[in-house]
A and B are shown apart, each in its own frame.
Chain A
Amino acid sequence: MHNIKIIEKKILQAIEETENIETLETIRISTLGKKGFISEKLKKIGTLPLTERQAHGTILNHLKSQINKLLHKKHQEIKKKTIHQRIQEESIDITLPVRNNPIDDGRIHPISQVIHEITSIFLKKGFTLAEGPEIETDYYNFIALNFPKEHPARDMHDTFFFHPNEKGETKLLRTHTSPVQIRTMENQKPPIRIIIPGKTYRIDSDKTHSPMFHQMEGLVIDKTSTIAHMIGLLEEFCQSFFETPSIKMRFRPSFFPFTEPSMELDIQYHHSKKETKWMEILGCGMIHPQVLRNCGLNPEEYQGFAWGMGIDRITMLKYDIQDLRDFFETDIRWLKHYGFPLFS
């Protein structure tokens, strides 16, 4: 048995020196495996003389358990070392940037945003959204709205015309969204509560005018609505749109061919730190009796009011945009800067 000791020393040293799981397994098989050294020795115990059997068995079993222990310990060590090494290798620069979320790049045009803001306010008040053609007839754009031919009020509507068609009819680009009022009154019985956003066109181009611009107007027709209701509604609208209950407003008499009485609404805004100024934001008034008659409604029975505003202008006012023409210039820098992120 003297050589057992030597063998034990050799095996344990081999295990100690092993650095990978595979070698460890080879050692296990060659020692403790079915045909391993220890297993073979144990099988041979029966052939030994009785007096030696017990001592021999004790030694071998002791060796077996020692090898087992050491194998297990070494196995754990190597595994830990491997993972540690892997983690070392897998370490990355976590400061590198991530891909942009497309949602962060997308933008909604300020005019769309403001149309949405205004629409939401009035939809909550029970209005529906109405739209109509941009290529209009003289009748819907002017005559029905009480702009007689040659009336000086037409001078404020520098109109784009098309060439006359086979029937001799000359169409035009609507100069305001008001033709939709007429189309609605012709097709729908009161009560009417609509808002009308849309593109409008006039021959004009400077810092505050573009040949294409946007308007939003509203129409209320029933038997009881008065100027007092109109003032109430529009004041509520301004407070909601400009997000302040303390906004200063004033109504001023004015003139539109399709309303009577007519007025304009000014709001006060800070022109500079010291100075406040009044700025006109919308025109409004009671529907002119002649307009009601033109749509087949009896002005003794029905009444109502309408208002209209330039979306581009109030967008400029609310979001502090300086030049109207930039809205349609499609400069990507401008669109990114003034456009609205999807979640804003």
Chain B
Amino acid sequence: MKFTLSWLKDHLKTHKSLKDIIDKLNQIGLEVETIDDRTRFNPFIIAQIIKAQKHPNADKLQVLSIDTGQPSPTQIICGAPNARIGLIGVFAPIGAYIPGMNIILSSKQIRGIDSFGMMCTQHELLLSDENTKIIELPSSAPIGKSFAVYRGLNDPIIEINLTPNRSDCAGIYGIARDLAAAGIGKLKDFTLKVNFKKKETNPIKVSLQHPKGEPSCLGFSWIMMKGITNHPSPKWMQQRLKAIGLEPINTLVDISNYITFEYNRPLHIFDADKIHGDLLIRHAYHNEEIFALNGKKYKLSSTDAVISDTKNILCISGIIGGKNSSCDQNTRNIIIESALWNPLHITKTGRHLDINSDARYRFERGVDPAFMIPGLEIASQMISSICSSAIATEIKLLDFQNPNQSTITFSYSQIKRLTNLNISQKKAWSILKNLGFHIEELDNMLTVKVPTWRSDIKESADLVEEIIRIYGIHRIKAKKFNSGISKQNTLTPVQIHSYNIRRVLASRGMIEAITLSFISKDIASIFGGGQREFKLANPISSEMSDMRPSLLPGLILAAGQNANRGFPNLALFEISEIYTNQNPQKQCRVAAGIRSGTSKMTGSGRFWTGTDNSSVDTFDAKADALNLLENCGLKSNRIQIKRGAPGWYHPGRSGIIKLSPRIILGFFGELHPETLEYFNIETKICGFEIFIEAIPKLQKYPTRPSPLILASLHPITRDFAFIVDKSIPASHIIRAASIADRQLIQSVKVFDIFEGESLGINKKSIAIEVVIQPLKNTLEDQDLQVLSQKIIDTVLKETNGILRKDQT
């Protein structure tokens, strides 16, 4: 909502400065968004060209002598084609800031002759796009005086960011009323001086056709005026409209705009001679069309309210007028309507036709129902005085009932209860009264009548807000908020895990990313998504149409983009939600990461030691995943690694991490070559996904650890190598060796894998290191022989593995 200071002062008697007014507006909840004090127009002076000679060294330039009101004329060089003796225009002296050129004017020589200023074009003052001809003012313009004052460009423009509840301040009068209540001045009374004779009866008939349901029209008033002239509107009106960003059109259109902004009262003026027969307020027929004032054609639906004559739709009620009945310079006779439209209808129609007009803005927020008729009277009065010798008819009404003021029972104690503010009862009541509330007091209880322009006020909390915003929120003294230490768990297991995982992954050299929750349909399908229930009905683009079923695509896309920028090696992770049918919330929290190129934990790229600059592999991703789980309290002996990861992984180089046969903790592995091909990625990428909700709650450490018992005997290490079928997983050998003697065998570690023809077809050798911890007695050679044989036998039994004979 924009207005100018002088316009505000039409309704507010105040001596306060602009700054005071701005501060107060902010204080009372009318947030000032922009202020244009327009001091930039101050240097410009009305001046006349008194001499013009051709520049001796340039064909298109003239040397001008300018009368700027000073005793001696000023010499300038000017290239404008319309510069001539006698022209009165706008002069910018040396030192003036020229907004259209963004420079400060300095004296200079142009082709050898001094120039001490310039005559300005419209564009140089940012008044229009005209940038070749200099401004020409009428001969009445006062030479030597301020151009800003002459043009009304010195009036500061204020824009407030109006919250949806304050429709009353969508009119300048309402803003003045609020400021007056806040002590910034006195609201000026406005009295209607009806200076024309309502001698004629109103010949226009209006009828109303309500379909079932909520009525679209809650009141309608109209008047007819005859014999008007519709010239351009007066200069003062044009200046104000221009200042708030409205283009003046003709007096009638300008007056209706003016009243819209001044009193929050949109109205519509029809050219009576363009109307066929009587008016009908009805709903549009399906696909009925209207050519609107904004130059666009609209196809209406049967929920849109319109005003029509016997032939055509004349306007979309409360939103926009039609071209066919609009007023132009030839208009002589008019019908003005002022109505109350149902906000629900206005919002619906406005949204589905996508029309944002000043009228819609006001009707959907709510206008003052009591101002419907005064608005019409003000309009006819302005038209009568500006458009000369008008004849007006009486005002007619349809379906209008004087609005009832709603009442609220309010007690003084509510102020203290909600705000802890100490304000006297007298002060509080006077604030409400100044805002237009009617108060009847009985003991400490009030019956408060809400003014018709404040339909947003419904209960006592609303009244408390009115009191504190006018009194000043800054007068509420802050109190320390003490709630004590929470006795519940302040964080859920998922929150604790998320916190830990983020730090574990960062400690492994990975960089956290946050990618968008939506991806394209095709990508969603690759990663198991794309179901209808996760598809947006109104996506921003087809690249963002589906809620993601996995975090990997976002990270892979990121890897691709970074590779294109020259960074193919990266380790990224994200902790976010994915969207799935697997639980009622339709989402679950996942930690996922990828490593691309050579980005291993020890760093990426080549290193002078020459070791290990190969590309990432499955075990880098597995290490990330297992380390993450370990730090969430899941030791590797509690989890199982199985084949069968989802299709976006390489089937031979990926795995599922399970807590039990039914509980899946996540997946890891190299990405499927086809997946990467879809993303146009040439480097290898390995990744993992962990479902954080599946990780058991972190066990709290016992308050005291169990006593530490250190074995007094040396551990013994023995190596074995077994030849097994290629398909036997290493984990089976480890397990078999471990269970050979659960007490003595402390750990089993794979230290070598070998495949070669010498072993036979489809065979491999797995070498393990077994650490044996004697418990009570030192183990003799014989004991070790027995234990070794037990290991060999168990491995044979469990895996068909045969001890490799060539070992030493």
Give residues in A with beta carbon < 8 Å to B. 96-97, 99-100, 102-109, 111-112, 116, 123, 125-129, 131-135, 150-153, 155-156, 160-163, 165, 170-171, 173, 191, 193, 199, 201, 203, 205, 211-212, 220, 225-233, 235-236, 250-255, 260-264, 286, 288-289, 299, 303, 327-328, 330-333, 335-336, 339, 341-342
- Contact B536–A227 (Cβ < 8 Å): no
Q: Which residue of the partner chain B has the closest CB to A278?
A: B26
- Contact A303–B164 (Cβ < 8 Å): no
12 A-B Cβ contacts within 8 A?
A: A96-B608, A100-B602, A109-B512, A152-B347, A173-B536, A220-B481, A231-B476, A253-B468, A255-B29, A330-B558, A333-B565, A333-B567
Q: What per-residue 1/0 map shows which CB atoms of B617-637 lie under 8 Å from chain A?
A: 000000000000000000000
A160 vs B534: C-alpha distance when bound (angstroms): 11
Q: Which residue of the partner chain B has the closest CB to A96?
A: B608
- Contact B513–A335 (Cβ < 8 Å): yes
A151 vs B602: C-alpha distance when bound (angstroms): 57
Residues on A with beta carbons closer than 8 Å to the beta carbon of B558: 330, 332
Listed from nearest, the 5 A-B pairs whose CB atoms lie closest are A253-B29, A102-B509, A106-B506, A261-B465, A255-B163
Instruction: Give, as a whole number of angstroms, the nearest-CB distance from B62 to chain A.
Output: 42
Instruction: Give, as a whole number of angstroms, the nearest-CB distance from B610 to chain A.
Output: 12
B:516-573 near A, CB below 8 Å: 516-518, 532-540, 544, 547, 554-555, 557-558, 561-562, 565, 567, 570-572
- Contact B506–A228 (Cβ < 8 Å): no
- Contact B490–A342 (Cβ < 8 Å): no
- Contact A165–B533 (Cβ < 8 Å): yes
Question: Assuming the A-B contacts A227-B419, A261-B418, are A203 and B540 also in contact, with contact meaning beta carbons closer than 8 angstroms in the complex?
Answer: yes
User: Is B245 interfacial (CB-CB < 8 Å)?
Assistant: no
User: Is B700 interfacial (CB-CB < 8 Å)?
Assistant: no
Q: Which of B469, B483, B539 contacts A127 (CB 8 A)?
A: B483
Residues on B with beta carbons closer than 8 Å to the beta carbon of A126: 483-486
- Contact B538–A128 (Cβ < 8 Å): no
Q: Which of B27, B28, B512 contacts A108 (CB 8 A)?
A: B512
A127 vs B487: C-alpha distance when bound (angstroms): 10
A333 vs B511: C-alpha distance when bound (angstroms): 11
- Contact B603–A102 (Cβ < 8 Å): yes
Q: Which of A127, A135, A255, A260 contacts B579 (CB 8 A)?
A: A135
- Contact B506–A108 (Cβ < 8 Å): yes
A226 vs B420: C-alpha distance when bound (angstroms): 6
Q: Which residue of the partner chain A has the closest CB to B345?
A: A150
User: Is B601 interfacial (CB-CB < 8 Å)?
Assistant: yes
Residues on A with beta carbons closer than 8 Å to the beta carbon of B576: 199
- Contact A161–B537 (Cβ < 8 Å): yes
- Contact A123–B365 (Cβ < 8 Å): no
User: Is B577 interfacial (CB-CB < 8 Å)?
Assistant: yes
User: Is B464 interfacial (CB-CB < 8 Å)?
Assistant: yes
Q: Which of A97, A286, A333 contacts B418 (CB 8 A)?
A: A286
Q: Which of A123, A262, A330, A333 contacts B465 (CB 8 A)?
A: A262
Give residues in B with beta carbon < 8 Å to A. 26-29, 31, 163-166, 343-344, 347-348, 364-365, 417-421, 459, 461-462, 464-465, 468-469, 473-474, 476-481, 483-486, 488-492, 495, 499, 502-503, 505-518, 532-540, 544, 547, 554-555, 557-558, 561-562, 565, 567, 570-572, 575-577, 579, 585-587, 601-603, 607-608
- Contact B468–A128 (Cβ < 8 Å): no
Instruction: Give, as a whole number of angstroms, the nearest-CB distance from A239 to chain B.
Output: 11
Residues on B with beta carbons closer than 8 Å to the beta carbon of A225: 481
In this complex, the member of A165, A233, A236 whose beta carbon has the largest number of chain B beta carbons within 10 angstroms is A233
- Contact A160–B479 (Cβ < 8 Å): no
Question: Assuming the A-B contacts A106-B508, A107-B512, are A228 and B421 also in contact, with contact meaning beta carbons closer than 8 angstroms in the complex?
Answer: yes
A21 vs B419: C-alpha distance when bound (angstroms): 96
Q: Which of A127, A203, A229 contacts B479 (CB 8 A)?
A: A229
A188 vs B495: C-alpha distance when bound (angstroms): 19
- Contact B587–A162 (Cβ < 8 Å): no
Residues on B with beta carbons closer than 8 Å to the beta carbon of A191: 483
Instruction: Give, as a whole number of angstroms, the nearest-CB distance from A243 to chain B.
Output: 19
- Contact B481–A332 (Cβ < 8 Å): no
Residues on B with beta carbons closer than 8 Å to the beta carbon of A252: 26-27, 29, 31, 473
Q: Which residue of the partner chain A has the closest CB to B30?
A: A253
Known: A135-B534, A299-B461. 20 other contacts (CB 8 A): A102-B508, A105-B571, A106-B510, A107-B511, A112-B514, A127-B483, A129-B490, A134-B579, A150-B344, A150-B348, A153-B164, A160-B539, A203-B540, A227-B419, A228-B478, A231-B478, A254-B163, A286-B418, A331-B561, A332-B570
Q: Which of A129, A199, A232 contacts B491 (CB 8 A)?
A: A129
Instruction: Give, as a whole number of angstroms, the nearest-CB distance from A147 to chain B.
Output: 10
Q: Which residue of the partner chain B has the closest CB to A126?
A: B483
A281 vs B291: C-alpha distance when bound (angstroms): 44
Q: Which of B469, B509, B540 contacts A106 (CB 8 A)?
A: B509
A233 vs B480: C-alpha distance when bound (angstroms): 7
Residues on A with beta carbons closer than 8 Å to the beta carbon of B555: 330
A32 vs B176: C-alpha distance when bound (angstroms): 122
Residues on A with beta carbons closer than 8 Å to the beta carbon of B607: 99
- Contact A232–B481 (Cβ < 8 Å): yes
- Contact A127–B517 (Cβ < 8 Å): no
Residues on B with beta carbons closer than 8 Å to the beta carbon of A112: 502, 512, 514, 575
- Contact A125–B481 (Cβ < 8 Å): yes
Q: Which residue of the partner chain B has the closest CB to A225?
A: B481
Residues on A with beta carbons closer than 8 Å to the beta carbon of B347: 150-152
- Contact B365–A331 (Cβ < 8 Å): no
Question: Assuming the A-B contacts A103-B506, A331-B565, are A128 and B488 also in contact, with contact meaning beta carbons closer than 8 angstroms in the complex?
Answer: yes
A169 vs B517: C-alpha distance when bound (angstroms): 22
Instruction: Give, as a whole number of angstroms, the nearest-CB distance from A211 to chain B.
Output: 6
A281 vs B93: C-alpha distance when bound (angstroms): 43
Q: Which residue of the partner chain A has the closest CB to B465?
A: A261
- Contact B468–A332 (Cβ < 8 Å): no
A231 vs B476: C-alpha distance when bound (angstroms): 8
Instruction: Give, as a whole number of angstroms, the nearest-CB distance from B97 to chain A.
Output: 18
- Contact B506–A226 (Cβ < 8 Å): no
Question: Assuming the A-B contacts A193-B483, A332-B562, are A133 and B490 also in contact, with contact meaning beta carbons closer than 8 angstroms in the complex?
Answer: no
Instruction: Give, as a whole number of angstroms, the nearest-CB distance from A340 to chain B.
Output: 8
Q: Which of A162, A231, A342 contacts B506 (CB 8 A)?
A: A342
- Contact B533–A162 (Cβ < 8 Å): yes
- Contact B465–A342 (Cβ < 8 Å): no
- Contact B418–A232 (Cβ < 8 Å): no
- Contact B562–A331 (Cβ < 8 Å): yes
Residues on A with beta carbons closer than 8 Å to the beta carbon of B503: 108, 342
Question: Assuming the A-B contacts A162-B533, A261-B461, are A228 and B562 also in contact, with contact meaning beta carbons closer than 8 angstroms in the complex?
Answer: no
Question: Assuming the A-B contacts A127-B483, A211-B540, A228-B420, are A105 and B512 also in contact, with contact meaning beta carbons closer than 8 angstroms in the complex?
Answer: no
A198 vs B435: C-alpha distance when bound (angstroms): 40
- Contact A232–B478 (Cβ < 8 Å): yes
- Contact A330–B533 (Cβ < 8 Å): no
Question: Assuming the A-B contacts A126-B483, A150-B343, A150-B347, are A335 and B512 also in contact, with contact meaning beta carbons closer than 8 angstroms in the complex?
Answer: yes
- Contact B538–A160 (Cβ < 8 Å): yes
Q: Which residue of the partner chain A has the closest CB to B540?
A: A211
A211 vs B418: C-alpha distance when bound (angstroms): 36
Question: Assuming the A-B contacts A135-B587, A226-B418, are A111 and B540 also in contact, with contact meaning beta carbons closer than 8 angstroms in the complex?
Answer: no
Instruction: Give, as a whole number of angstroms, the nearest-CB distance from A251 to chain B.
Output: 5
Question: Assuming the A-B contacts A152-B164, A330-B572, A335-B511, are A102 and B601 also in contact, with contact meaning beta carbons closer than 8 angstroms in the complex?
Answer: yes
Residues on A with beta carbons closer than 8 Å to the beta carbon of B486: 123, 126-128, 193
A173 vs B347: C-alpha distance when bound (angstroms): 22
- Contact A261–B481 (Cβ < 8 Å): no
Residues on A with beta carbons closer than 8 Å to the beta carbon of B585: 132-133, 135
A328 vs B544: C-alpha distance when bound (angstroms): 13
A331 vs B515: C-alpha distance when bound (angstroms): 11
Instruction: Give, as a whole number of angstroms, the nearest-CB distance from A130 to chain B.
Output: 9
Q: Which residue of the partner chain A has the closest CB to B25?
A: A252
Q: Which residue of the partner chain A has the closest CB to B567?
A: A332
Question: Assuming the A-B contacts A212-B516, A228-B479, are A330 and B561 also in contact, with contact meaning beta carbons closer than 8 angstroms in the complex?
Answer: yes
- Contact A236–B481 (Cβ < 8 Å): yes
In this complex, the member of B163, B459, B567 whose beta carbon has the largest number of chain A beta carbons within 10 angstroms is B163
- Contact A205–B540 (Cβ < 8 Å): yes
Residues on B with beta carbons closer than 8 Å to the beta carbon of A129: 490-492, 495
